[in-house]
Amino acid sequence: MSEAKLYPVPAEVADYALLNREQYERMYRRSLEEPESFWAEQAEEFLTWFRKWDRVSNNDLSKGQIRWFEGGKLNVSYNCLDRHLEQNGERAALIWEGDEPDQSKTISYRELHAEVCRCANVLKERGVRKGDRVCVYMPMIPEAVVAMLACTRIGAVHSVVFGGFSPSALRDRIQDSDCQVVITSDEGVRGGRTVPLKENVEKALAECPNVHTVLTVRRTGKDVTWVDSRDVWYHEAIQSASAECEPEQMDAEDPLFILYTSGSTGKPKGVLHTTGGYLLQTAMTFKYVFDYHDGEIYWCTADVGWVTGHSYIVYGPLANGATSLVFEGVPTYPDAGRFWQVVDKHKVNIFYTAPTAIRALMGQGEEPVKQYSRQSLRILGTVGEPINPEAWEWYYRVVGDERCRIVDTWWQTETGAIMISALPGAIDLKPGSATLPFFGVEPQLVDNDGNVLEGATDGNLCLTRAWPSMMRTIYGDHERFMNTYLTHYTGKYFTGDGARRDADGYYWITGRVDDVLNISGHRMGTAEVESALVLHDKVAEAAVVGFPHDVKGQGIYCYVTLVKGAEPSEELKKELVDLVRKEIGAIAKPDVIQWAPGLPKTRSGKIMRRILRKVATNELDNLGDTSTLADPSVVDELIENRANR
Ligand code: 6R9
C-alpha cells in the first residue's frame, strides 16, 4: 500500500479543541500506567454518584470477570436528565426531525425529564420492577428515547430491537431475555412508507405468552389489533401518570441493557451492559471524540436499535447535557439533499453517520450537497464499517468543505463505546484509518496462534485489558461469552476484526475475520441467513458468504442446494429472498442466489467457505489448497455457474 495522505491538525483547531496532541498523549499514558486513579478521576468528573464506589476495578479476563466501580450507586436517567435541570433545564435535549421535512419538534431537558418520569410511573403501574426486561420496538421518535430512559429510571433492563426486524426475529429476542413488557408504536414512518410495528408485535407475541403488557405510542393513528387486558395506549397512560419518579439507586454493576448482535453462529447474542462503566465511557468518548462544546447541536443518524444509537444518540450526549438530534427518516427522502437540509435547518455542528450512507450519497453527485450551506458543521464522524479512502475524501471535501475534522470511530456493540478514533484537535488524519486508541484501550495484533506481533504488521485485533464499558456477558450464556471473546487468546478480548498497524502506530481495520458480514454497517451472521434459507422445504442446504458491494460495503451471496426433484427457477429465487426478509428483515435480503448442486466440503463434512468467498468475488486464479476437498469437481461446477461475473 502506498503511503497514505496525511491531514495534520490545523493550529487553530488544536487551540480550540478540548484536547491537543500533547494532552492526548499524557492522558493516554496515564490511563495505562495508573488506570485506577485515572478512571476514578474520570468517574468523578463525568458522573454524579449517589454513593461512591468501594473499588475502581476488579477484572480478570481469563475468568470473564469484569467489574468497575463496585459498590458505587448511581442512576442513568438521573445523570442524563435531573442533574442538568438547574442550569440547563430549558436547553433542547432532543430535536426531533420527522420523516417529512415540515415535521420537527424540540424537547427541553425539563420536558424530557417529566415525560421520562411519567413513562417510568406507567411501567411501574404495570408491575415492572428493577431487573425486569422490557423490549423496546420503536421507530425513531422521541418516545423511543423516553422508553429507554424510563427503564433506566426504575432499574428495568431494556432490550431495544431494531424496528426493521421481522416478527420472528422480534419473537426470538423477546423470548431469549424473557421480556414481559413491550413498548412499540402503531406504525413507523420511514422514507414516505409505513412499517406495521404493532402488527409485527402481534405476530411475535403469538409465541410469547409471558408478555402481559404492550404499551403503544400513537404515531400515525392507524387502526391496530387491540387486546384490552394487555394493550395500553401510551398517550392515555401517561396523561394520568405523575411527572415525578424517584430514580432507583442502581449498583454500578447492575444490568443496564441487553442488545442483540450477530455472531458467527445462528443465534443472536444478547450483549449485556451494566450501569456505571458504560455510562462513564460513553459520556467521556462523546465529549472528547466529538470535541463537544457546550451548546452545540449534535446529530447521529443511526437508529436507536443499534449500539450506535444507544451510546451516541442517547446516553453519551444526554450525560453531557448536549442537544441530540433524532431523525426519523432516511438520507434520500424526499431527495438526496435531506441530510444537508436538516443540517442547515437545525444548525448542526457535529454529524455522525455510516460509510454506506456516504457512498450512497456520493453516487448522487455533489449537487444535492452544494445546495445547502453546511456552514455550521465542524466535526464529521463515521462508524460501522471501514471507510474506503475515496468516500473519506468525498466526505472531507464535498460535505466538510475541507474545513471539518473527520473522526473514523472503530468500536462494537460489545465494546459499548468508541475504542479507536481520532480526536479532532489531537490526531492527524489518514483517510481510511481509525487512527489511535482512546484512553484505557490497549490494542494488540496477534497471529492465529496467539503470538503477539510488534511494529507495522497485519493481525487479529485484540484488546489486552478490560475497559469500563466492556460487555459483561452474553445474557444467559456466560460460557458462550467466554468462547466467543476470551478463550481464543487467553487473557485478551478478541474483537473478531482484522487490522493493520502502520509505522506511525495507526490502526487500519480490515474487516471481520469470522463468519460475520457487514451489510451497510449492520452485522449479520452468515449462519442466520443460512438458517432462514433452509426453512424452505425445497432447500436442502445453503452456504452464505459476503462479496464486495459498491454501496453496502458487503453484499449477501447465497449458494443454495435444492432437495432432490426440486427445480431451480426465478420464482423460487424470489420465494427465498422473501423468506429471508420475512425471517430476519429487509437488511438481510440476499443480493445473489446461486444454485449449487453441491457445496465444497472437506472429508469431515465442513463447508470450505474460503473457496465460496473466492468464487463469489471472482478471484478464481487463487483458490488456495483444494486437496482436502471430498469432491473437487464441485468447485468447477460452481465456477462454471457463478452468478457474479
Ligand atoms: C459500532 C458498531 C461492529 C463491527 C466491528 C467492525 C465494524 C465498526 C468500524 C468498523 C472499520 C470502523 N466497524 N466501526 N470497521 N472501521 N470505524 O458498528 O457496532 O454493529 O457491533 O459492529 O463493525 O467489523 O467489529 P456493531
Separation between Cα atoms, residue 347 and residue 375, nearest integer Å: 8
Separation between Cα atoms, residue 381 and residue 640, nearest integer Å: 43
pLDDT given at position 644: 66
Helix (H) or strand (E) segment spanning residue 532: helix 526-533
Fold adopted by 520-641: GMP Synthetase; Chain A, domain 3 (3.30.300)
Q: Which of 550, 556, 491, 64 is nearest to 262 (CA)?
A: 556
Looking at ligand 1, which atom is closest to the CA of residue 408? 17
Q: Which residue numbers belong to the known binding site for ATP? A: 384-386, 408-413, 497, 512, 523
Residue closest by Cα to atom 17 of ligand 1: 410
Q: Which of 17, 39, 43 is nearest to 319 (CA)?
A: 43
What global pTM score does this model have?
0.95
Looking at ligand 1, which atom is closest to the CA of residue 414? 21
pLDDT given at position 627: 77
Q: Which of 385, 463, 500 has the most ligand 1 atoms within 8 A of CB, as the residue to mutate? A: 385
Q: What are the phi and psi torsion angles at 538 (to 5°)?
A: -95, -5
pLDDT given at position 1: 47
pLDDT given at position 317: 98
Distance in Å, CA 525 to ligand 1 centroid: 14
Distance in Å, CA 385 to ligand 1 centroid: 5
Place of cell 421520562: 116
pLDDT given at position 628: 77
Looking at ligand 1, which atom is closest to the CA of residue 261? 21
Residue closest by Cα to atom 18 of ligand 1: 384
Residue closest by Cα to atom 26 of ligand 1: 412
* Residues of the chain below pLDDT 50: 1-2
Distance in Å, CA 485 to ligand 1 centroid: 15
Looking at ligand 1, which atom is closest to the CA of residue 413? 21
pLDDT given at position 603: 80
pLDDT given at position 645: 59
Q: Which of 445, 379, 387 is nearest to 407 (CA)?
A: 379
The domain limits of the chain are: 11-501, 520-641
Residues making up the chain, counted from first to last: 645
Looking at ligand 1, which atom is closest to the CA of residue 509? 11
- What single-letter amino acid sits at 580? V
First-to-final CA distance of the chain: 26
pLDDT in tens, 76-105: 999 999 999 999 999 999 999 999 999 999
Residue closest by Cα to atom 6 of ligand 1: 385
* ipTM of this predicted structure: 1.00
DSSP notation for 352-421: EE-HHHHHHHHTT-SHHHHTS--TT--EEEEESSPPPHHHHHHIIIIITTTTSEEEEEB--TTT-S--B-
Separation between Cα atoms, residue 571 and residue 613, nearest integer Å: 25
Q: Which residues' Cβ are closer than 6 Å to ligand 1?
A: 261, 306-308, 383-386, 408-413, 434, 495-497, 509, 511-512, 518, 523
Fold adopted by 11-501: Rossmann fold (3.40.50)
Distance in Å, CA 95 to ligand 1 centroid: 26
* 279 close to 315: Cβ distance less than 8 angstroms: yes
Q: Which residue numbers belong to the known binding site? A: 190-193, 308, 384-386, 408-413, 497, 512, 520, 523, 534, 536, 539, 581
pLDDT given at position 280: 99
Q: Which of 497, 507, 516, 554 has the most ligand 1 atoms within 8 A of CB, as the residue to mutate? A: 497
Give the CA diameter of the chain: 74
- Which residues lie across from 542 on neighbouring strands? 560
pLDDT in tens, 355-364: 999 999 999 9
What per-residue string of b and e applies to 281-303 under the rule 16 or more CB within 10 Å gives b?
bbbbbbbbbbbbeeebbbbbbbb
Q: Which of 576, 133, 521, 535 is nearest to 360 (CA)?
A: 521
Q: Which of 260, 278, 303, 383 has the most ligand 1 atoms within 8 A of CB, as the residue to mutate? A: 383
Distance in Å, CA 522 to ligand 1 centroid: 8
